[in-house]
Amino acid sequence: MDTTDMKITIGHLYPDLLNLYGDRGNIACMMKRCQWRGIEAETIEFNTGDEIDFCGLDIVLLGGGSDREQAIVCQNLLKIQKQFQEYVEDNGVVIAVCGGYQLLGRYYKTDDGMIEGLNLVDIYTEQEEGRLIDNIVLQSELADMPIVGFENHGGRTYINGNKPFGKVLYGSGNDGKSGYEGVVYKNVIGTYLHGPLLPKNPQICDYLIQRALERKYGPMTLLPLDDSQEQEANEYIYRRFVKE
Ligand code: GLN
């Protein structure tokens, strides 16, 4: 099928509260990589209190936030829990970063109390002593290139039997102990990698776009793009933190 007849609609959830460290760059990256291939791309921002129709969405982005912002967002999330869960179970594509990742789970327990999560994936997060802050490098089944990024979180996420996003080559990951980072459930990726994640890791961006297009239009191949600059940057980070 000709990709120029295709369209992707991205739902950016709560950018008014969840937008730490330029998570918005992930939206720009998805839009651009679609447009460069002639695929129409649109982003709809939903701020707290807005009605969300998940039927019209192909990719949902939930960004990072501070504990305070997460507690506010949590009230809104619980109102849309049922529709969001239907979207996920129907293989809807979701990319959730840091605070957003924590909110996918059952709960996030902090020293100040309990933030109830969306319960979309069977994971949970608890605040423990000290923050895990550093560059991070992963090896993931979803990409040939190593995945590079930056993490900064006080919460430790436990993914039970779920599949991780990647194996930690450098950095802390989910809990600083397991050696794994993030979670993959159906077409949902949850990860602590800010940075923003997708411009630094174009293969993950394409993975999300491809999953979203295939859900809508059936099996297809994405046109390759020239990622030589991204590859060079990726190799530099890999060499700096893993190889040397
Ligand atoms: N508030 C969460 C934590 O510290 C998430 C922070 C973030 O999104 N960077 O664990």
DSSP sequence for 185-243 = ETTEEEE--BS-HHHH-HHHHHHHHHHHHHHHH-S--PPP---HHHHHHHHHHHIIIII
pTM here is: 0.96
Question: Bigger pLDDT: 215 or 1?
Answer: 215
3-state helix, strand, coil in the chain (%, to 5): 35, 30, 35
Domain-located, residue 2: no
Q: What is the mean pLDDT of residues 90-98?
A: 97
Decide if pLDDT at 244 tops 70. no
- Output phi, psi for 197, to 5 deg: -60, -50
Over range 173-194, report the average pLDDT: 97
- Of 12, 34, 194, 205, which is the active-site residue? 194
Atom of ligand 1 nearest to the CA of 155: 10
Q: Is residue 234 part of a domain?
A: yes
Average pLDDT, the chain: 94
What is the CATH classification number for the domain harbouring 66?
3.40.50.880
Choosing from 153, 174, 175 the residue with most ligand 1 atoms within 8 A of its CB, the one to mutate for a pocket test is 153
User: Is residue 191 a part of any domain in this protein?
Assistant: yes
pLDDT in tens, 24-37: 899 999 999 999 99
Task: List pLDDT tens digits, range 142-152.
Answer: 999 999 999 99
Number of domains in the chain: 1
Q: Is 105 in the pocket of ligand 1 (CB under 6 A)?
A: no
Give a yes or no: residue 105 inside a domain: yes
State the residue for tokens 């991780």.
164
Compute the distance from residue 129 Cα to the ligand 1 centre, in Å.
13
pLDDT reading at 161 higher than 70? yes
What is the mean pLDDT of the segment spanning 85-106? 96
Where b means 16+ CB within 10 Å and e means fewer, 138-177 reads bebebbebbbbbbbebbbbbbbeebebbbbbbbbbbbbee
Element (H, E) at 88: helix 67-89
pLDDT band at 4; cut points 50, 70, 90: confident
Name the band, by pLDDT with cuts 50, 70 and 90, for residue 65.
confident
Quote the domain boundaries for residue 147.
7-243
Q: What is the pLDDT of residue 52?
A: 94
Q: Which atom of ligand 1 is nearest to the CA of 125?
A: 10
The kind and range of the H/E element at 157 are strand 147-158
